[in-house]
Amino acid sequence: MISTTDHQERERVRSRIGSLVMRFCQRQLGPFHMEQLLGYVESHVDGRVAPDSPGRILRLLQEKGELGYRVVDRTRSLYEILWVGQRPAEQAELFAARAS
């Protein structure tokens, strides 16, 4: 179970770097190393970012259904962005509704 303090900390970090993680994912559809995400976030904020923060935000965004990714190779910290925004199935339903 996630404690209230942990939840509050996640939200604080998300508010600080969440939009940067989303922007990186929109530009980086396909494979990437976690170091690339960390480097992107650090290059757009004042000060340092805890090395695990971008990964935690990435997981949180997936849990909330805002993007999809998969772990390609955990040992090499290689991930792949599958989609950002609406899930592909939801997009198909949207296009079908508009076509009729």
Q: Which residues pair with 14 in a beta bridge?
A: none
Structure tokens at 47: 């000060």
Tens digit of pLDDT at every position of the chain (100 positions): 556 677 776 666 667 799 999 999 999 988 999 999 999 999 999 888 899 999 999 999 999 999 999 999 999 999 999 999 877 665 545 445 544 5
| Domain locations along the chain | 4-99
pTM value?
Answer: 0.74
What pLDDT was estimated at residue 11? 66
For 38, which DSSP code? Answer: H
What is the identity of the amino acid at 99? A
| Contact in structure between 94 and 49 (CB atoms under 8 Å) | no
Q: What pLDDT was estimated at residue 91?
A: 53
User: Which pLDDT score, from 0 to 100, does residue 77 have?
Assistant: 96
Q: Is 13 helix (H, G, I), strand (E, B) or coil?
A: helix
Are 79 and 32 a contacting pair, CB within 8 Å?
yes
Q: Which CATH topology does 4-99 take?
A: Arc Repressor Mutant, subunit A (1.10.10)
